[in-house]
A and B are shown apart, each in its own frame.
Chain A
Amino acid sequence: MQIIKDRQLVENTWTFITDDSPLPEIGDITVTLARWLADKEQLLKRSSQAGVRLNPSDQIEQLADDLSKIAVIELNFPIFGDGRLFSQARLLRSRDAYQGEIRAVGDYLPDQVFYLARVGVNAFEFTDPNHIQEALAAMNNFSVRYQASTN
């Protein structure tokens, strides 16, 4: 499936592994924060890349020492109105100087992409493929910004 990354359509190479599934031997994977903290060493020993899927209630500070080893952080929207993820993205970029990919996943709207891009989210995965084109267009909804931003 395709996702948006840095404003381009690219093929998704990442898979989210739920806590009750075993870690696959190969392939880029993301896991929950809890699993990352528990199985960090094992995850980093694999030959493929590893990332973390954060939920809005997760404490991103728990990742502080690991950020340089994490290729992708997914911000998972349980519902589109949960705005905590916007501050998490902002903090990851500005406070923690996180350089990897920040990807929005879960239940959110193409209408939010403009805002998400401005707080540092650079990749967008949608469950509904129709949303991809809408999201690409929505990134250009506004040419004017009043606030400094991380993108």
Chain B
Amino acid sequence: MYQYNKQDQILIEERVNEFRGQTQRFLSGELGPDQFRALRLMNGLYVQTHAPMLRVAVPYGLLSSKQLRKLASVARDYDHGYCHFTTRQNVQYNWPELSRVPDLLAELATVQMHAIQTSGNCLRNTSSDHLAGICKDEIEDPRPYCEIIRQWTTLHPEFAFLPRKFKIAVSGATHDRAAVQFHDIGVYLVKNEAGEIGFRILAGGGLGRTPIIGQTVRPFLEKQHLLSYLEAILRVYNLFGRRDNKYKARIKILVKETGLEKFTAMVEKEWLRIKDEMLLTNERIEEMKAQFAPPAYDSSACNDSSFDTHLSADAGFAKWVKYNTVEHKIAGYRGVYLSLKAPDSPPGDMTDKQLEAVADLADQYSFGEIRSTHRQNLVLADVKQADLFTVWQQLDAIKLATPNIGTVTDMICCPGLDFCSLANAGSIGVAKEINEALDDLDYIHDIGDIKINMSGCMNGCAHQSVGHIGILGVDKHGEEWYQITLGGSSENEAAIGERLGPSVPKDQITATITTILDVYVKQRLEDETFLETVKRVGLEPFKERVYANH
């Protein structure tokens, strides 16, 4: 992974010092709440229900074991012993004290971590494919470009006060695992007819209140122009994005209101002017690629036969391998998902002990690296098949081996009403209840690939609008109700879920979900996934059953 040089390190330390000064000025009354609000948000600090919430950046979801251990000690020393992984592959702490946040940040800086631009109306953390560099369907590893973008976005002087937040995702594979089409700017590595690799650039995608699928502004961009193109898009957005209404301030609204053709023309005009001043040299790209060179794989890893023996001898192991591991481009290796969706813990949460145990596992079995996924799980990307049985046992002992990746209990879930001051309704409790109702693993495995995404409010942090089943918490006269959508997807076949009907009260949400699953099981043709069934039969059969008694 990318190793900080001296300059990178100095920058994050200087940012800690700046934030320490800003916090002191606020605490002494010199800075007003509104001014401090904007400044602290640009450093990941929200004021939440119980305490400030601090969001720590995990650039494109890549972590070292050293960083994981630091996240653990910070959880212990500044929080209640746990942290939460988000859908932007970042980490959140829900209980730090404001006056101690500068010290917390100074500790993170010792392991090259920070909270720069993790919130506020600025360029946010760039997200990517959690299987980058190991998947078979990759055109090129996106991470070098993510790091180039990370550096370009960090403290960008012109784009620190945008109309609204701005998110970029990069994917280098043919299968989109990074929800690229739902980002302000989406970047796909693609091959053109001449066989050259470059970028397809999308703009104007987004989730939240108005989910919109991004549109292509440039089908093929030579690599050397990546930053100038991004800069041109950002300049047009910064100058012309709406600032009169925060719900219409995202670039998706600008693209929609301006029209794709005109928007593209504005971008291209600016880009033609600046493209030759901002060239990414081949040398720079190669240097960055070297930072993400493949680890020293063992070429004899595929000679192992113990893996097959364990597979046939232990059904529990076999099940885990089927659901929680993934094919690797190197023979004899697999990628391993660590499920942060154990039935009895809030989705995405990890304790300090778990973090430390995973750091040890990463050191021993996966070159000391860990990845976070946008579905709020972790990945050990490079595990030898001969080690999988031991890794499974050790993960099981720390409750990170629930074999439910990609199944109905692998829900994306925001912190909801329990922690978040924006939420209308709880989500963690509902996730727990759904989990309890679906406690039969065989049934879960039988219904297969279903993505449930649940957000506690319209802001849609858990991407409910692109869940195969989306659950959205709404407030109805002070009560928690839930609106359901079906058929959304954030992958290649990007789609926004369709509303099933009137929202349901809290005491019926679990029954509603099980009814929906039941309808699917009855309606599905052989091997048909949930999403395929919904596409084929439409919403009607689901409506009939869910609202049968109304």
List chain A positions with a Cβ less than 8 A from chain B. Answer: 56, 80-84, 86-88, 90-91, 94-95, 109, 111-112, 114-119, 138, 141-149
Contact = CB atoms under 8 A, between A and B. Distances in A.
Contact of A142 (B14, B163, B274): B14
A87 to B, nearest CB: 5
A88 B238 CA distance: 10
Given A81-B38, A83-B121, A83-B158, 5 more contacts: A56-B243, A82-B161, A119-B158, A146-B11, A148-B278
Contact of B14 (A81, A109, A141, A149): A141
B22 to A, nearest CB: 7
Given A111-B22, A144-B10, A144-B11, A86 B157 contact: yes
B160 A86 contact: yes
Contact of A111 (B8, B39, B162): B39
A82 B157 contact: no
Nearest to B42: A111
B154 interface: yes
- Among A84, A88, A114: residue with most chain B CB under 10 A: A84
B155 interface: yes
17 contacts: A80-B161, A81-B38, A82-B161, A83-B121, A83-B158, A83-B238, A109-B35, A112-B160, A115-B157, A115-B160, A116-B157, A138-B18, A142-B15, A144-B8, A144-B14, A145-B155, A146-B155
B323 interface: no
Contact of A86 (B14, B238, B274): B238
A80 B18 contact: no
Nearest to A144: B11
B315 interface: no
B11 A142 contact: yes
Contacts of B15: 142
B238 A87 contact: yes
Contacts of B18: 111, 138, 141-142
Interface string B19-45: 000100000000000010011000000
Interface string B155-185: 1111111110000000000000000000000
Given A111-B39, A146-B152, A148-B278, A83 B157 contact: no
A116 B14 CA distance: 18
B235 A87 contact: yes
A80 B38 contact: yes
Interface of B: 7-8, 10-11, 14-15, 17-18, 22, 35, 38-39, 121, 151-152, 154-163, 235, 238-239, 243, 273-274, 277-278
B267 to A, nearest CB: 13
B159 A83 contact: yes
A118 B159 CA distance: 11
A87 B151 contact: no
A91 B231 CA distance: 12
B238 A149 contact: no
B265 to A, nearest CB: 16
B158 A146 contact: no
A147 B156 CA distance: 7
A10 B112 CA distance: 40
Contacts of A87: 158, 235, 238-239
Contacts of A147: 152, 156-157
Contacts of B157: 86, 114-119, 147, 149
A91 B11 CA distance: 26
Nearest to B31: A109
A146 to B, nearest CB: 4
A24 B162 CA distance: 38
- Among B8, B39, B159: residue with most chain A CB under 10 A: B159
Contacts of B274: 94
B284 to A, nearest CB: 12
A142 to B, nearest CB: 5
Contacts of B239: 84, 87-88
Given A142-B11, A143-B10, A144-B7, A90 B35 contact: no
A142 B160 contact: no
Contact of B154 (A81, A119, A146): A146
A148 B162 CA distance: 19
A87 B238 CA distance: 7
B159 A143 contact: no
Contacts of A83: 121, 158-163, 238
Q: Ordered nearest first, which 3 A-B pairs have the shortest CB separation?
A: A83-B161, A118-B157, A144-B11
Nearest to B236: A87
B36 to A, nearest CB: 10
A81 B161 contact: yes
A80 B120 CA distance: 14
A56 B152 CA distance: 24
A90 B121 CA distance: 19
Contacts of B7: 144
A148 B277 contact: yes
A108 to B, nearest CB: 10
B10 A84 contact: no
A111 B17 CA distance: 12
Contacts of A91: 235
A109 B152 CA distance: 23
Contacts of A56: 243
Contacts of A141: 14, 17-18
A86 B158 contact: yes
Nearest to A140: B14
B115 to A, nearest CB: 16
Contacts of A149: 157
Given A81-B161, A90-B158, A119-B158, A95 B273 contact: yes
A147 B234 CA distance: 14
Contacts of B38: 80-81
Contacts of B39: 109, 111
A86 B155 contact: no
A82 B35 contact: no
- Among B39, B151, B160: residue with most chain A CB under 10 A: B160
